Chains A and B, each alone.
Chain A
Amino acid sequence: MARSAIEHDFFSKKKESNGLPPAVKSHKIERRRSFRDIQGVISKMNPEVVKSVIENGSLGGNKRKPAVSSPKETQTNISPFPVCDPTLRLGCGHNGKNDEKNAPMTIFYNGIVAVFDVSPNQAQGILKVAEERLPESAELSESNPYNQENLLDGDFPMKRTKSLQVFLKKRKESRGRNSS
């Protein structure tokens, strides 16, 4: 990376925890902070939140296990520390030009380090979602609640036991025979 990454303290470890530091304020990554600390903090986060953040960032390859070792570790195989998967990068439709608007955003989750090139607005959006509680199937429940209800009611006709069904059918048939 040519320039330093923006680090956002959205684990609220530092005092400033709201909003996003503008691209202008470039902080150095605190390389002193160990991966274990980060993992410890991540484990306190609601996994649903982090997962949705990753998904919102259109992370396509999150099913794959990370295969590349972390920059700190020299071993390549089994590493207890988060490993960086350089393929997990979000392109935001820019050609990789040195655009002032876009900056790398690094997310640590479940042993994976993911880096995205996002604009400040996109980053803000992602963080907003991360800070909110995950809405419960929001899209499904809020749109057309009555349609949902109708659908559910219509699909559950009351059922009879088999014996009763057979009996009522036979009775109907015999009445039909008698009347004709």
Chain B
Amino acid sequence: MDERRWKNLNGCSSSGRLSCGGATSSSSGQYETVWECVIPYVQDPRDRDAVSLVCKLWCEIDAITRKHVTIALCYTATPQRLSGRFPYLESLKLKGKPRAAMFNLIPEDWGGYVTPWVEEIVRSFGRMKVLHFRRMIVKDSDLELLATSAGRVLEVLRLDKCSGFSTDGLLHIGRMCRNLRNLFMEESSIIEKDGEWLRELALNNTVLESLNFYMTYLTEVRSGDLELIARRCPSLALMKISDCDISDLIGFFRAAASLEEFGGGSFSEPPGQVGEGVFNEQLERYADVVFPARLCRLGLTYLGKAELPIVYPVAARLKKLDLLYALLDTEAHCQLLQSCPNLEFLETRNVIGDRGLEVLAQFCKKMKRLRIERGDDEQGMEDVEGVVTQRGLMALARGCLELEYLAVYVSDITNASLECIGSHSKNLCDFRLVLLDREERITDLPLDNGVRSLLTGCHKLRRFALYLRLGGLTDEGLGYIGRYSPNVRWMLLGCVGESDAGLLEFSKGCPSLQKLEMRGCRFSERALAMAALHLTSLRYLWVQGYRPSGNCRDLLTMVRPYWNIELIPARQVVVPDQDGGEIVEDHPAHILAYYSLAGQRMDFPATVTPLDPNTLI
């Protein structure tokens, strides 16, 4: 299709004009033109998928007007196939390692290399403005290639939980990507050589809107460079950094007039824990910290009770609060949250406690997303009140009716609390519950009925995770999950069910389930293989913990065209322990299976084995 026609087609959606030039006068030409004008407005990828199946013309229109593609696993297609199908792509999201990599379960060299993709982008995608690599391996050479070849066009670069690169690679990005509006590196493992990359970014960029190197543990960050960025980039709306004392950022906050979101930084510890003097000293140190006028999203690392007074002036306008890495006890949570009536998004640890959830339910009626992570299990490390149970959940469900996302680690649970969520949380799209293993006795197990009530009540549910323990969910309960989750696309099931019968019953349902992760269940290889065949929408399966057959013989049941099966055999991993020494961890075997148009991948490390049916028969 020629350049002029492409321009006309893309002109339709970007400028909002309905009339398109270049139409022929014949009736079929006008007919074509109508579709050429309409289709670019269709944004949802599933709708686009349907559009492309109608006829060749529509497929062609879809192909040349598609702006964004997400490839949920980078090994499902080749870069060449992508460029052949969508030559004018402007935005690409690629995901590599299994999600379990976030929990240190996947070997570091598992795969997910961006190199072949970067090479193809530079070769064939002249319009690529937005790149998002998630859990992939990125090398300095990849960044250099991107910067030199696509540097002028690149506007958004997200290296999301990636690894394999150093600050040298970032140096190229800082120097060459003058149109970069968004640089995201949160939770990436970066090898730090120096802090020059930040300086280069500060010197060469004036359009930066968002810079995020939160949780990257970079230490050579100079507050002066941050202030320089704030002064030179008037549109800077988001800044999330690694550790840097907040008292050194007073100048930065003064300069960042447009800042809406800040995360990271750090507070130095009060010298001792004695008397009033300590609090006053802390306050003096941080008293001059004034957050910008538009700041409404905040997360301060190591924020303690003594430093809370700097947050209170902005509390009333806070929409998002990150207390995951704060040092607040239950009482401090209660005090702070009472002052946040506009809060929509809260992340914290279970130190918030049931009492904190009750405060949330009472004062924060606009809550949409709540994530409660697992604090320290050790005695005395967290507040004694710092446990979340059915009491907090029920208060939350009744008080915060706008809830869309809820992820929580609980120490105790009842069916009634899950029913309560089902009755009240009608907007819930994403629900994740993990039952901690510290308490031996749980009030009310199994959770079959509660889970059923929750699933039937929360009809918008798209993502669902349930991580329990032996006895937490019977086979019947597992069957309920299959039967009552019509729209769920992703599931994580941990330690659920009793036997293969439960899994087989489950696999008769879940009509929309595309991605299934399972851990610590007791299903046999054969049942897993059968389930994979039954689940009609399944395109990705990850399992750790199963009853193996000899030689993976039973997995053969699910061998079929385009279905790649990989194994990570059981291994032992040496990890540093808490006291600076080393311990050996046992990692049970994994199965990973996924649909792919690219055939078996060619870059297996020693720790991963493809399942080759020919060697097993």
Q: Write out the residue numbers on chain A whose beta carbons fall within 8 Å of the beta carbon of B376.
A: 168, 171-172
Partner of A156, one of B187, B524, B525, B545: B545
Query: Known contacts A136-B527, A178-B269; is A156 also within 8 Å of B495 by CB?
Result: yes
Q: Write out the residue numbers on chain B whose beta carbons fall within 8 Å of the beta carbon of A174.
A: 269
Residue of A nearest to B521 (CB): A152
Check if B524 sits within 8 Å of A140, measured CB to CB: yes
Give the distance in Å from the alpha carbon of A178 to the alpha carbon of B349 in the complex: 23
Give the distance in Å from the alpha carbon of A162 to the alpha carbon of B102 in the complex: 7
| Chain A min CB distance to B4 (Å) | 50
Check if A163 sits within 8 Å of B187, measured CB to CB: yes
Check if B588 sits within 8 Å of A164, measured CB to CB: no
Residue of A156, A161, A163, A174 most packed against chain B (CB within 10 A): A156
* Contact pattern, B 367-408, Cβ under 8 Å of A = 1, otherwise 0: 000000111101001000000000000000000000000000
Partner of B374, one of A141, A148, A164, A172: A164
Give the distance in Å from the alpha carbon of A140 to the alpha carbon of B550 in the complex: 10
Q: Write out the residue numbers on chain A whose beta carbons fall within 8 Å of the beta carbon of B544.
A: 156
B520 within 8 A of A: yes
Q: Write out the residue numbers on chain B whose beta carbons fall within 8 Å of the beta carbon of A178.
A: 269, 273
| Chain A min CB distance to B66 (Å) | 33
Q: Write out the residue numbers on chain B whose beta carbons fall within 8 Å of the beta carbon of A132.
A: none
Q: Write out the residue numbers on chain A whose beta carbons fall within 8 Å of the beta carbon of B19.
A: none
Q: List 21 A-B contacts (CB under 8 A).
A: A63-B617, A136-B524, A136-B527, A140-B547, A152-B522, A156-B494, A158-B374, A158-B467, A161-B103, A162-B104, A162-B187, A163-B324, A163-B325, A164-B349, A167-B325, A171-B376, A171-B381, A172-B381, A172-B578, A175-B381, A178-B269
A166 within 8 A of B: yes
Q: A136-B527, A140-B547, A158-B434 are in contact. List 6 more A-B contacts (CB 8 A).
A: A137-B554, A141-B547, A153-B470, A156-B520, A162-B104, A164-B349
B537 within 8 A of A: no
Check if A155 sits within 8 Å of B578, measured CB to CB: no
Partner of A137, one of B215, B469, B495, B525: B525
- Scan residues 399-422 of chain B and give those whose CB is less than 8 A from a CB of chain A: none
Give the distance in Å from the alpha carbon of A162 to the alpha carbon of B374 in the complex: 12
Residues of B within 8 A of A (CB): 102-105, 187, 215, 217, 269, 273, 301, 324-325, 327, 349, 373-376, 378, 381, 434, 436-437, 467, 469-470, 494-495, 500, 519-522, 524-527, 544-545, 547-549, 554, 578, 586, 588, 617
Q: Write out the residue numbers on chain B whose beta carbons fall within 8 Å of the beta carbon of A136.
A: 500, 524, 526-527, 554
Q: Write out the residue numbers on chain B whose beta carbons fall within 8 Å of the beta carbon of A169.
A: 578
Q: Write out the residue numbers on chain A whose beta carbons fall within 8 Å of the beta carbon of B324.
A: 163-164, 167
Residue of B nearest to A158 (CB): B437
Q: Write out the residue numbers on chain A whose beta carbons fall within 8 Å of the beta carbon of B437.
A: 158
Give the distance in Å from the alpha carbon of A137 to the alpha carbon of B105 in the complex: 27
| Chain B min CB distance to A139 (Å) | 9
Q: Write out the residue numbers on chain B whose beta carbons fall within 8 Å of the beta carbon of A25.
A: none
- Scan residues 123-143 of chain A and give those whose CB is less than 8 A from a CB of chain B: 136-137, 140-141
Give the distance in Å from the alpha carbon of A107 to the alpha carbon of B94 in the complex: 51
Give the distance in Å from the alpha carbon of A164 to the alpha carbon of B347 in the complex: 12
Give the distance in Å from the alpha carbon of A172 to the alpha carbon of B57 in the complex: 63
Q: Write out the residue numbers on chain A whose beta carbons fall within 8 Å of the beta carbon of B215.
A: 163
Check if A160 sits within 8 Å of B520, measured CB to CB: no
Q: Write out the residue numbers on chain A whose beta carbons fall within 8 Å of the beta carbon of B547.
A: 137, 140-141, 148
| Chain A min CB distance to B159 (Å) | 15
Query: Known contacts A136-B500, A161-B102; is A156 also within 8 Å of B519 by CB?
Result: yes
Residue of B187, B436, B521, B547 most packed against chain A (CB within 10 A): B547
Query: Known contacts A140-B524, A141-B524, A152-B520; is A168 also within 8 Å of B375 by CB?
Result: yes
Residues of A within 8 A of B (CB): 63, 136-137, 140-141, 148-149, 152-153, 155-156, 158-169, 171-172, 174-175, 178
Q: Write out the residue numbers on chain A whose beta carbons fall within 8 Å of the beta carbon of B586.
A: 155
Check if A156 sits within 8 Å of B527, measured CB to CB: no
Give the distance in Å from the alpha carbon of A167 to the alpha carbon of B215 in the complex: 10
Q: Write out the residue numbers on chain A whose beta carbons fall within 8 Å of the beta carbon of B494.
A: 156
| Chain B min CB distance to A45 (Å) | 16
Top-5 shortest CB links A-B: A156-B520, A159-B103, A163-B215, A155-B588, A167-B325
Check if A149 sits within 8 Å of B522, measured CB to CB: yes
Residue of B nearest to A52 (CB): B553
Give the distance in Å from the alpha carbon of A155 to the alpha carbon of B588 in the complex: 7
Q: Write out the residue numbers on chain B whose beta carbons fall within 8 Å of the beta carbon of A162.
A: 102-104, 187
Give the distance in Å from the alpha carbon of A148 to the alpha carbon of B544 in the complex: 15
| Chain B min CB distance to A148 (Å) | 7
Q: Write out the residue numbers on chain B whose beta carbons fall within 8 Å of the beta carbon of A160.
A: 103, 373-374
Query: Known contacts A164-B324, A172-B578; is A159 also within 8 Å of B588 by CB?
Result: no
Q: Write out the residue numbers on chain A whose beta carbons fall within 8 Å of the beta carbon of B526.
A: 136-137
Residue of A nearest to B301 (CB): A167
Residue of A149, A163, A165 most packed against chain B (CB within 10 A): A163
Residue of A nearest to B525 (CB): A137
Give the distance in Å from the alpha carbon of A111 to the alpha carbon of B446 in the complex: 51
| Chain A min CB distance to B574 (Å) | 16
Give the distance in Å from the alpha carbon of A165 to the alpha carbon of B215 in the complex: 11
Check if A137 sits within 8 Å of B522, measured CB to CB: no
Give the distance in Å from the alpha carbon of A178 to the alpha carbon of B270 in the complex: 10
Residue of B nearest to A110 (CB): B617
Q: Write out the residue numbers on chain A whose beta carbons fall within 8 Å of the beta carbon of B469.
A: 153
| Chain A min CB distance to B373 (Å) | 6
Check if B373 sits within 8 Å of A149, measured CB to CB: no
Residue of B nearest to A167 (CB): B325
Q: Write out the residue numbers on chain B whose beta carbons fall within 8 Å of the beta carbon of A175.
A: 381
Give the distance in Å from the alpha carbon of A148 to the alpha carbon of B467 in the complex: 19
Partner of A159, one of B105, B378, B470: B105
